[in-house]
Amino acid sequence: MNITKADIVDRISANVGISKVEAKTVLEEVLASVIDSLAEGRKIELRGFGVFNTKYRSARTARNPKTGESIQLGEKYVPTFKPSLDFVAKVNEKLGNKKNK
């Protein structure tokens, strides 16, 4: 089951005791801050969660797998995320327990 932004807003609202409107505003501001910081070329470190960064990708020639036609791709920056060790351990712990059941 997928989680949507609305689900996160509901959870923040319930756990923190603020209205859904306030929770939505806070979440949108956090997401906008992440996007703006990455667009400025800055790295974001959230201890216990992970690191958001950008990586440069050079221009290259790619191939359309369906037609085999060559396509020229331009240079670009792509956002990346590297989860913390705690993050990875928690995910593996939860999913490992599901798999063993």
Q: How many CA atoms lie within 13 A of 5 on its CB side?
A: 10
pLDDT in tens, 20-70: 999 999 999 999 999 999 999 999 999 999 999 999 999 999 999 999 999
Enumerate the β-bridge partners of residue 60: 73
The answer to whether residues 48 and 84 touch, using CB atoms and an 8 Å cutoff, is: yes
| pLDDT of 101 above 70 | no
Between CA 60 and CA 51 the distance in angstroms is 27
Between CA 24 and CA 79 the distance in angstroms is 23
pLDDT at 1: 82
Between CA 26 and CA 87 the distance in angstroms is 22
Comparing 96 with 64, the larger pLDDT belongs to 64
Average pLDDT over residues 73-97: 94
pLDDT at 38: 97
